[in-house]
Structure 1
């Protein structure tokens, strides 16, 4: 693409071209990005900094390379074979919240975090309103987030644990990396997650992963409630969540 052509692009078009070339992992330095998009270095740098600020691009401070950021992966995980995970899960959220009366949450993984992309409140007087749509947590913090981490391949978990453990030490004094290890082991034995009194005192959650066509976790269903309401219904909640997760997965199975 010529410099003359690039100069006639709108700001949106320039941004889209930068995101497009970053899909090639070999194009990761400012010089290469500017060359492939036809933009001058100053323009490319300005857009990259703006994208980095919004979470669409990340820059390694040591190697100086640019890669696609967590917001891009959040959008990717929200769609599977043209089907919106949020749309596919909506009926499940409604059924679960009506049946049990508590808050039901849909989360997706992005980088070292999970994002709440939908939730549905039940009619129980005390609601788990500490998590809103768009809220982010380190993977492993909260039942749905822990269900995602527990269902990931061991090499993927190892790659993100340094960042996750640092956030636990900084933001969650009651939830040490050692405690996370224990909860992961329990999740593998149970086949589901039950996390109590970690994020909010006297509140807990139970969660299961939702897998994509490649069997990797692309979302998690979880129920948040008072700890006493979770403990007394663990088996019933786990069975219902697992059934709904499998129903969601059927949305992208071949006919």
Structure 2
């Protein structure tokens, strides 16, 4: 029979193999095609180990190799798994069609995100005719303090919890909020009016408005936004209109998730 010590050693070996495989796959997170040497550098593996893992992953279609350049990229098996994972998420199921309709109606981008640690995580991303993109945001992450949806997701936390979660507010543009007291005031205003605004705080020449999505107990579980170039969003003239739109859709998603409104007492 296998001893406890032998079982522990085998288990540790299996765990290390899984960690190495995850490190190889995470090397592709920036979206670039990679050489074996690039994977070696990112995953901190030896050349032979990286080559063996890539060959195994290629046979399972988790990566694929370009026949001309011999560069590796993520493969179709991950697309299948990603699609299954996103379709299992209750917020995605409830929000997807509504966000798609919103993008088509307004011509702007419509996005849905949840919080994962100190970042927002995109569940839905649709482009309208006025805000085209050549890539999808689904599965990507962005900072909480510099985005409209991120600000909505921070509403669930106290000021002290926000400072603990994000001690340093990174600057992305000259308009990024980098002071916690200023962020507190901005979030208070967002809570009062029902939607948050991001005006060139993450990227220049772009803006968005977002509203929180509530779960059955009234907690913030997600956020939905409309976004696009400054000229298309046109905050001076359209803020009230777009704010009303995102609040209305957020309320509909919240109701679909089981939120029945504030309890009267």
- Give the direction of change, closer, same or farther, for the CA distance of 1:123–1:95 in structure 2 (3 Å limit): same
Q: Measure the CA separation in 2 of the matches of 1:217 and 1:51.
A: 31
CA displacement at 1:160 relative to structure 2: 0.6
In 2, Cα distance between equivalents of 1:186 and 1:251: 26
What residue number does 1:252 align with?
A: 257
* Cα-Cα RMSD: 3.6
Question: How many equivalent pairs are there?
Answer: 199
Does residue 195 of the first structure (1) align with residue 201 of the second (2)? no
Alignment-derived partner of residue 175 in structure 1: 176
1:112 matched to 2:122? The reply is no
Are 1:240 and 2:241 matched, yes or no? no
Deviations 1:177-201 (A, max 9, x none): 2253443233233221011122222
Quote the offset at 1:114 in angstroms. 0.4
Structure with max Cα Rg: 2
- CA separation in 1, counterparts of 2:136 and 2:173? 15
Aligned to 2:43: none
Secondary structure class of the residue paired with 2:188: helix
State the Cα deviation string for residues 85-104 of structure 1 (Å, max 9, x = none). Answer: 11110121122112211110
Unpaired runs of 5+ in structure 2? 27-84, 261-265
Residues 216 and 5 of structure 1: is their aligned pair in 2 closer, same or farther, counting only changes over 3 Å?
farther
The 5-angstrom pairing of residues 35-184 of structure 1 reads 40-45=11-16, 47=18, 84-124=90-130, 126-127=131-132, 132-162=137-167, 165=169, 168-169=170-171, 171-172=172-173, 174-178=175-179, 180-184=183-187
Q: 1:205 touches 1:224 (CA, 8 Å); kept in 2?
A: yes
**Structure 1, unaligned stretches of length 5 or more?**
8-33, 56-76
2:5 and 2:249 map into 1 onto residues whose CA distance is 49
CA shift, 1:223, in A, is 0.4
Secondary structure at the counterpart of residue 239 of structure 1: helix
Q: Which stretch of the first structure deviates more once superposed, 102-111 or 133-142?
A: 133-142
